[in-house]
Amino acid sequence: MTVTVYVPRDTTALALGADRVAIRLQRGAKARDVEINLVRNGSRGLFYLEPLIEIDTPEGRVAFGPVTPGDVDALLEAGLLEGRQDHPLALGLTEEIAYLKRQQRLTFSRIGITDPVSIEDYTALRGFEGLKKTLALDSQAVVDEVKTSGLRGRGGAAFPTGIKWQTVHDQPPGQKYVVCNADEGDSGTFADRLVMECDPYMLIEGMTIAGLAVGADQGYIYLRSEYPLAHAILDEAIERAVAAGYLGDNILDSGRAFHLEVRLGAGAYICGEETSLLESLEGKRGLVRAKPPLPAIEGLFGRPTVVNNVLSLAAVPFILDQGGQTYADYGLGRSRGTLAIQLAGNVRCGGLVELAFGTNLRELMEGFGGGTLSGRPLKAVQVGGPLGAYLPESQWDHPVDYEGFAAFGGVVGHGGVVMFDDTVDMGDQARFAMEFCSVESCGKCTPCRIGAVRGVEVIDRIRAGESFDKNLALLTDLCDTMVDGSLCAMGGMTPFPVQSVMQHFPDDLTPRQAVTAGGTTC
């Protein structure tokens, strides 16, 4: 009998040795004369258990993890291929793992289950059903369905996706574009990567639906160059989708066309800003454009363009398949549907947690994350990427939703949650926020370009104890100038982490020499 064994092949599983685990498994099975069908699936997003290998059994898939190459022989000895659960790394049925079972996976319903590039696997789990329904609807009905869902841009700005689509839809006929922002540059985020590496057809389907809805026949995925594996998988998936008639001049014999191409970025964080991204796609320096005009009216090559984040587009197939109302039934207030939370940094159980909006941070970091990896007390958490505020413990009980977070100066952003233990020096973190901006600023507007450099300098002076009070006042003023005067969110939000350190962790900004010497501050 052939045993089916799953060894994930996303970036994290590979970074932890999944390829070598797979090779050891093949060798071990051969030595035991057992035939195995080795499937390189995507990751379930339970990164603390990677490499997480699974075996098909009559009861369902059973899991083992985290498996190092050195564990493989002992696992085989303990009856891995018979699905026996005697080894200490045995985790039981995958679907029953509490971390996974407690989630509400609407967008990420297939990741880790399927072979990412298998169209058969995708369609077996309702893949392309949303596209089929779209082809039977007129374009306004498709836009209306997305509006009903209440979906808001998952890239960070949270603009209603349906309204953006309506604007492009309402432009006169002619060349229009769908651009997927896959420049996932925020530290602590990997949900876009998981979509592209583990369920690429979902993104392809979402973009095709967007194209049909707004009247665009060309799509581009602007992918960051730091994701070479996602690039390879997307290219393969697009090629297969074209061959199978899901993309191209005649989608599923409907007579309607949509073409899709991956374009690589080149290591510029700012190109995650949509107008900078469009400049880059056009082949220019990624300088931010002033808005208006909105990209929906004058976007790529001056034509009406939908620019959506990977996760926004990935939510669309579910919405068209199951109905916008079904999606909207999840969530809280004006934040409808689910949010892909990414637990990262100093976390014991890091990974992807997809839940309806409304869970609080403490539950996520402790209930799911299991506290810090180091075992030390949590000190701060940065939500929403490098431009998000550092939140102290007093803010961990707020429910995670766009309005709720905005009310206290927090940013949900792309859903990244980066945890820090009590060894972190928040002064270093504040300085890094400014340093990062000075490296990544596009340079178009002065508050961001000059402000970030001056920010690093003034923080250094504060920490050296040089005119402490005066320089602290100067930093406050500088932050206000950047927030109010910058052209885009890069300069406009870089002060958020800095201000949060000033407000909640002021002791970490006091002169270091005085503190280490045990003396009083100046």
Partner 1 sequence: MSQTPSPVADAWTPAQIQAVIDAHRERPGAMLPTLHALQDRFGFIPEAAVPMIADALRHTRAEVHGIISFYHHFRTHPAGRNVVQICRAEACQSVGSRQLEAHAKKALGIDYHQTTPDHELTLEPVYCLGNCACGPSIRVNDDVYGRMTPERFDQLTDELSATVVEVK
Nearest-angstrom CA–CA distance, 494 and 269: 13
Sequence length of the chain is 522
Regarding 475 and contact with partner 1 (CB under 8 A), the answer is: no
Question: Alpha helix (H) ranges present in 323-376?
Answer: 324-328, 361-362
Q: Please list, in sequence order, all residues whose beta carbon lies within 8 angstroms of the beta carbon of residue 228, skipping any fewer than 6 positions away.
A: none
Question: Alpha helix (H) ranges present in 289-389?
Answer: 310-322, 324-328, 361-362
For residue 519, the minimal CB distance to partner 1 (Å) is: 26
Contact 341, 399 (CB under 8 A): no
For residue 19, the minimal CB distance to partner 1 (Å) is: 5
Which residue number, 192 or 321, has a Cβ lying nearer to partner 1? 192
| Interacting span for partner 1 (CB under 8 A) from 96-104, 159-167, 251-259, 277-285 | 277-285
Regarding 51 and contact with partner 1 (CB under 8 A), the answer is: no
Binding mask 424-463 for partner 1 (x = CB under 8 A): x---xx--x---x--xx-x---------------------
Regarding 505 and contact with partner 1 (CB under 8 A), the answer is: no
Q: Using CB under 8 A, which of 32, 101, 284, 291 touches partner 1?
A: 284
| Interacting span for partner 1 (CB under 8 A) from 313-321, 407-415, 420-428, 506-514 | 420-428
Which residue number, 62 or 353, has a Cβ lying nearer to partner 1? 353
The Cα angle at residue 378 between residues 383 and 495, in degrees rounded to 5: 35
Regarding 406 and contact with partner 1 (CB under 8 A), the answer is: no
Residue 33 burial (CB count, 10 A): 6
Q: Report helix, strand or coil for 377.
A: coil
Amino acid at 474: L
Which residue number, 285 or 470, has a Cβ lying nearer to partner 1? 285
Residue 35 burial (CB count, 10 A): 10
CA end-to-end span of the chain: 76
Q: Using CB under 8 A, which of 80, 344, 462, 475 touches partner 1?
A: 344
Dihedral sign computed on CA atoms, order 183, 188, 189, 194: positive
Nearest-angstrom CA–CA distance, 311 and 16: 25
Nearest-angstrom CA–CA distance, 390 and 208: 38
Structure tokens at 263: 């374009």
Binding mask 286-325 for partner 1 (x = CB under 8 A): x--------------x------------------------
Regarding 422 and contact with partner 1 (CB under 8 A), the answer is: no
Regarding 418 and contact with partner 1 (CB under 8 A), the answer is: yes
Regarding 165 and contact with partner 1 (CB under 8 A), the answer is: no
Angle between helices 200-214 and 310-322 (to 10 degrees): 80
Sites for partner 1 among residues 231-270 (CB under 8 A): 263-269
Regarding 280 and contact with partner 1 (CB under 8 A), the answer is: yes
Which residue number, 50 or 321, has a Cβ lying nearer to partner 1? 50
Which residue number, 266 or 517, has a Cβ lying nearer to partner 1? 266
Which residue number, 9 or 240, has a Cβ lying nearer to partner 1? 9
Q: Please list, in sequence order, all residues whose beta carbon lies within 8 angstroms of the beta carbon of residue 147, skipping any fewer than 6 positions away.
A: 160, 162, 163, 166, 324
Q: Using CB under 8 A, which of 130, 345, 427, 447 touches partner 1?
A: 345
The DSSP secondary-structure symbol of 444 reads: S
For residue 349, the minimal CB distance to partner 1 (Å) is: 9
Q: Using CB under 8 A, which of 138, 282, 466, 484 touches partner 1?
A: 282
Sites for partner 1 among residues 355-374 (CB under 8 A): 373-374
| Interacting span for partner 1 (CB under 8 A) from 103-111, 345-353, 398-406, 509-517 | 345-353
Total number of residues binding partner 1 (CB under 8 A)? 64
The residue to which tokens 């102290």 are assigned: 392
The DSSP secondary-structure symbol of 134 reads: H
368: alpha, beta or left, given left = phi > 0 and alpha = psi -120 to 50?
Answer: alpha
Regarding 94 and contact with partner 1 (CB under 8 A), the answer is: no
| Interacting span for partner 1 (CB under 8 A) from 90-98, 114-122, 134-142, 416-424 | 416-424
Nearest-angstrom CA–CA distance, 56 and 420: 38
Regarding 275 and contact with partner 1 (CB under 8 A), the answer is: no
Nearest-angstrom CA–CA distance, 305 and 281: 12
Which residue number, 257 or 264, has a Cβ lying nearer to partner 1? 264
| Interacting span for partner 1 (CB under 8 A) from 164-172, 244-252, 341-349, 511-519 | 341-349
Regarding 219 and contact with partner 1 (CB under 8 A), the answer is: no
What number of CA atoms fall less than 13 Å from residue 175's CA on the CB side? 9
Regarding 40 and contact with partner 1 (CB under 8 A), the answer is: no
Q: Using CB under 8 A, which of 107, 189, 309, 359 touches partner 1?
A: 189
Regarding 508 and contact with partner 1 (CB under 8 A), the answer is: no
Dihedral sign computed on CA atoms, order 32, 33, 36, 40: positive
- Spatial CA neighbour of 150 closest among 360, 513, 402, 408: 402
Contact 187, 386 (CB under 8 A): yes
| Interface residue list for partner 1 (CB under 8 A) | 11-12, 14-16, 19-20, 23, 47-48, 50, 184-190, 193, 225-229, 263-269, 280-286, 301, 342-347, 350-351, 373-374, 382, 386, 416, 418-421, 424, 428-429, 432, 436, 439-440, 442
